[in-house]
């Protein structure tokens, strides 16, 4: 679909609606930025995170001074840095600090806040969703919007609340306009959430929805076939954590008839936790 011509004042309302429908529902800065102009302000000096590139670069490929080089386009090098940083973290707080100071993922430049986790890190139950949405980005906490309210009700249905559960996401920054994270953004985030799970060491892990199930159980099978069956998440250290894949609360808000399936999955979780002394 072609956007309405922005040069015609009469089109402005239509143009805003076009962008809102496409998911661009809030301004990222107070003033508009012409990204094409930024190419003129070029940085000749390589930064610590931006190795010098040998040979002369064509002008249009040089990076603008105002854009942090590491965040401009993530690459496999950033995924390697993420793996090293995550491995080094010895505590959940170390990991939080490492993520807070990591500049290798472009999602950080558009997010308002890092969304690390909520709940009790000593809980026997850990739940992992996909990525923060608008409300989570504003508050810096996972699952605080409509899906989060439903998740709280699902936990309450098995007698738990956030003092007895720990909640995080695969991706710790909101993708702009709630778009799907790219494979590289997921690859960069992966070591952090894997180390997060390893450090929390829950008795039971619940993956909420397709992306976190596929990533953490290393499967290509869809959530409808995976849900309701126990599987194992294997940590980097080789420990197996009992994992229940279930439907994402956002999906359940759109498909309330499927809540009964999630209810069954949560009953399984309740029984397993009871066996683990909860
Ligand atoms: N959906 C998610 O997957 N995570 C959140 O934190 C909120 C909505």
Three-state secondary-structure class, residue 125: strand
Confidence of residue 59 (pLDDT cuts 50, 70, 90): very low
- State the pLDDT at residue 57: 38
Residue 23 has pLDDT above 60, yes or no: no
Confidence of residue 49 (pLDDT cuts 50, 70, 90): very low
The chain-wide mean pLDDT, for the chain, equals 85
Q: Are 126 and 202 in contact (CB under 8 A)?
A: yes
* Ligand 1 touching residue 154 (CB < 6 A): no
Distance 113 CA to ligand 1 centre (A): 14
- State the pLDDT at residue 53: 32
* Ligand 1 touching residue 99 (CB < 6 A): no
Structure tokens at 229: 């069956």
Q: Are 48 and 157 in contact (CB under 8 A)?
A: no
User: What's the number of CA atoms in the CB half-sphere (13 Å) around residue 98?
Assistant: 21
Q: Which atom of ligand 1 is nearest to the CA of 248?
A: 3
* Ligand 1 touching residue 168 (CB < 6 A): no
Q: Which of 115, 127, 130 to mutate to test the pocket of ligand 1 (most atoms within 8 A of CB)?
A: 130
| Backbone CA torsion sign across 220, 221, 226, 231 | negative
Q: Which of 148, 211, 213 to mutate to test the pocket of ligand 1 (most atoms within 8 A of CB)?
A: 148
Distance 131 CA to ligand 1 centre (A): 5
Domain limits of the chain? Answer: 76-275
Residue 16 has pLDDT above 80, yes or no: no
Confidence of residue 169 (pLDDT cuts 50, 70, 90): very high
Structure tokens at 180: 């799907």
Distance 138 CA to ligand 1 centre (A): 13
- State the pLDDT at residue 71: 47
Distance 275 CA to ligand 1 centre (A): 28
Q: Which of 117, 129, 174 to mutate to test the pocket of ligand 1 (most atoms within 8 A of CB)?
A: 129
* Ligand 1 touching residue 133 (CB < 6 A): yes
Q: Give me the phi and psi of 138, to 5 degrees please.
A: -70, -45
What is the homologous superfamily of the domain 76-275 according to CATH? Answer: Uracil-DNA glycosylase-like domain (3.40.470.10)
| Backbone CA torsion sign across 166, 172, 175, 181 | negative
Structure tokens at 226: 């995976």
Strand duo 166-169 + 231-234: pairing = unpaired
The residues, any chain, with a CB within 8 Å of residue 199's CB and separated by 6 or more, are: 89, 91, 92, 95
Residue 213 has pLDDT above 50, yes or no: yes
* Ligand 1 touching residue 172 (CB < 6 A): no
Percent of the chain at pLDDT exceeding 70: 77
Distance 216 CA to ligand 1 centre (A): 16
Q: Which of 17-26, 76-85, 92-101, 171-180 has the lowest mean pLDDT?
A: 17-26
Q: Measuring CA to CA, how many Å separate 88 from each of 18, 47, 58, 140, 249?
A: 45, 23, 38, 24, 33
Distance 136 CA to ligand 1 centre (A): 7
* Ligand 1 touching residue 132 (CB < 6 A): yes
- State the pLDDT at residue 66: 43
Q: Which atom of ligand 1 is nearest to the CA of 145?
A: 7
């Amino acid at each position: 679909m072609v956007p309405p011509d922005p040069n015609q004042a009469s089109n402005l309302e239509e143009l805003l609606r076009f962008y809102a429908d496409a998911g661009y529902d809030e301004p990222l800065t107070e003033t508009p930025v012409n990204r094409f102009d930024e190419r003129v302000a070029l940085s000749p000096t390589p930064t610590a995170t931006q190795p010098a590139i040998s040979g002369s670069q064509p002008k249009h490929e040089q990076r603008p001074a105002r854009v942090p080089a590491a965040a401009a386009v993530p690459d496999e090098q950033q995924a390697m840095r993420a793996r090293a940083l995550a491995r080094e973290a010895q505590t959940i707080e170390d990991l939080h600090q490492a993520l807070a100071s990591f500049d290798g993922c472009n999602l950080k430049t558009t997010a308002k806040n890092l969304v690390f986790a909520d709940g009790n890190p000593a809980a026997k139950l850990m739940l992992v969703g996909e990525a923060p949405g608008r409300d989570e980005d504003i508050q810096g906490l996972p699952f605080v919007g409509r899906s989060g309210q439903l998740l709280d009700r699902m936990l309450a249905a098995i007698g738990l609340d956030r003092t007895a559960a720990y909640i995080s996401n695969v991706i710790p920054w909101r993708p702009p306009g709630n778009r799907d994270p790219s494979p590289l953004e997921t690859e960069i985030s992966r070591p952090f959430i894997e180390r997060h799970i390893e450090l929390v060491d829950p008795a039971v892990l619940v993956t909420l929805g397709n992306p976190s199930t596929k990533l953490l159980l290393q499967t290509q099978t869809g959530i409808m076939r995976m849900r309701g069956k126990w599987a194992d998440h294997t940590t980097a250290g080789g420990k197996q954590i009992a994992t229940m894949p279930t439907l994402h609360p956002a999906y359940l808000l759109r498909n309330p008839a499927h809540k009964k399936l999630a209810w069954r999955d949560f009953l399984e979780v309740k029984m397993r936790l009871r066996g683990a002394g909860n």
